[in-house]
Structure 1
Amino acid sequence: MLTKIKITLFSLFISFSFCSSQEIKIIDKPITYDSTRVRLSLEYLKERHGIHQNTPTIQPKIIVLHWTAAKTFSSTFNAFYPAKLPNGDRKDIAAVSSLNTSSQFLIDRDGTIYRLMPENYFARHVIGLNYCAIGVENVGSANFPLTDAQLKANEALVRYLKKKYDIQYLIGHYEYSKFKDTPLWKETNPNYLTGKSDPGADFMKKIREDLKDLALKGVPTD
């Protein structure tokens, strides 16, 4: 079974590499997506989102932008790489699931875009919305502001994803809880929330201005 999963995922990466838009350069650098991550992802979908599936796939409707709170690409990549959270790490979220955090994309300081898994595969990066959200992590933090190169890379990536999927929303991670009382929100524990500030309101203001032609929605207003 494990061999079959590895072959399937490898084939998906090959397919995604050849299908990448000519307007954007994306480097495939996969994290571990073995039978353990598949099992834990399916369990998360069932237990946290109330969704029963046989494959850990999503139908993307939201793009969520993040910052890593780390200064290097390698430290974030190494943190995402294992299928399970390290023992004793992130106790606030480990109590909910041992599935490691991750995202579909990770953008370095120079604007290089890395794809960590097939774009429509499940990643744990945003409470309540993982089942329909593509995550884009950016190397940086409040004290290590995101760069102009990252801004341009995020803009290009959002345009690329909008062309491929039925993307309706573009939000910063700090805005995710605004969806709690909407039909999109799927979290079985109403008290499971964590405070976030990434990727910063200024970054979101800039990217929304530059992408206003896409008419993507932000947080719900009703």
Structure 2
Amino acid sequence: MRRLIFIYCFFLFSCSSTIKIIDKPIVFDAERKKLTLEYLENRYGVVQKEPKITPKIIVLHWTVFSTLEASFNAFEPSKLPNWRPDIKNVSGLNVSSQFMVDRNGTIYRLMHETTMARHVIGLNHCAIGIENVGGGKELPLTKEQLQANIDLIHYLKEKYPDIDFLIGHYEYTKFEGTPLWLEKNANYRTKKTDPGTFFMKNIREATQNLEFKEIPNF
């Protein structure tokens, strides 16, 4: 059952008076837990009993799927489907994200913020992902999604003050060589463009007051 929660936000002008988050959990069964723990160990050398993370970075994405239903269905299974052979050989764990924002700006939480999701190479062990339905040339992200992302970022930074970075998915490789980058395989990289440079520019302008750190530039 979906649970609607209201979280009060106190950031004048940068955030609406309340942020609404609807819990819409994807499957996180014993199989997904096992695959997540294996991913942490095999990809990052992190051995844990629980698939938990300490958030240090927020990563914004787009799904390219045109509807919430299609986007959700892509993430829900525990195991990676056959249409992702490009990353299946690395791990059978399905892709996922902690949050998803529909085109009308509705925010859904797919899993708890401190549970590891597979959404960004090298950084999953410390990253909270926000997926936006649509994206690309055919389905540009909406102004409602922009505002929802701004509100959600403020909420996350307030809840987890140790989050240092905010990035678009296309910027993830800039963390290679930093202490946050743990991916063992030097050849495991994918080319990303989401959520677009224009979207990120607007996001950064609206979250300047949060004082995120500059992205590494090697």
TM-score, normalization by structure 1: 0.90
Aligned to 1:54: 49
Structure 1 residue 199 corresponds to structure 2 residue 185: no
Per the alignment, do residues 218 and 110 of structure 1 end up closer, same or farther by CA in structure 2, a change over 3 Å counting?
farther
Show CA shifts across 1:117-174 (max 9, x none).
Answer: 1111010000000000000000112121100000000000000000111111000000
Displacement of 1:218: 4.2
| Equivalent residue runs for 1:21-100 within 5 Å | 21-22=7-8, 23-86=18-81, 88-100=82-94
Higher-strand-fraction structure: 2
Aligned to 2:132: 138
The answer to whether the 8 Å contact 1:57/1:122 transfers is yes
| Equivalent residue runs for 1:97-136 within 5 Å | 97-136=91-130
Higher-helix-fraction structure: 1
Aligned to 1:3: none
After the TM superposition, which segments of 4 or more aligned residues of structure 1 sit over 4 Å from their partners? none
Show CA shifts across 1:68-106 (max 9, x none).
Answer: 0111110010010000012x2211100000000000000
Structure 1 runs not aligned, ≥5 long: 1-9
Q: Could you say what the CA RMSD is over the residues aligned between the two structures, in angstroms?
A: 1.5
Displacement of 1:217: 2.3
Aligned to 2:150: 155
The answer to whether the 8 Å contact 1:171/1:218 transfers is no
C-alpha distance in structure 2 between counterparts of 1:106 and 1:218, whole Å: 25
Matched AA of 2:21: I
SS at match of 1:221: coil
- Tell me the matched-pair count: 207
C-alpha distance in structure 1 between counterparts of 2:177 and 2:44, whole Å: 14
Structure 2 runs not aligned, ≥5 long: 9-17
Percent identity over the alignment is 58
Show CA shifts across 1:50-71 (max 9, x none).
Answer: 1000000100010000000111
TM-score, normalization by structure 2: 0.91
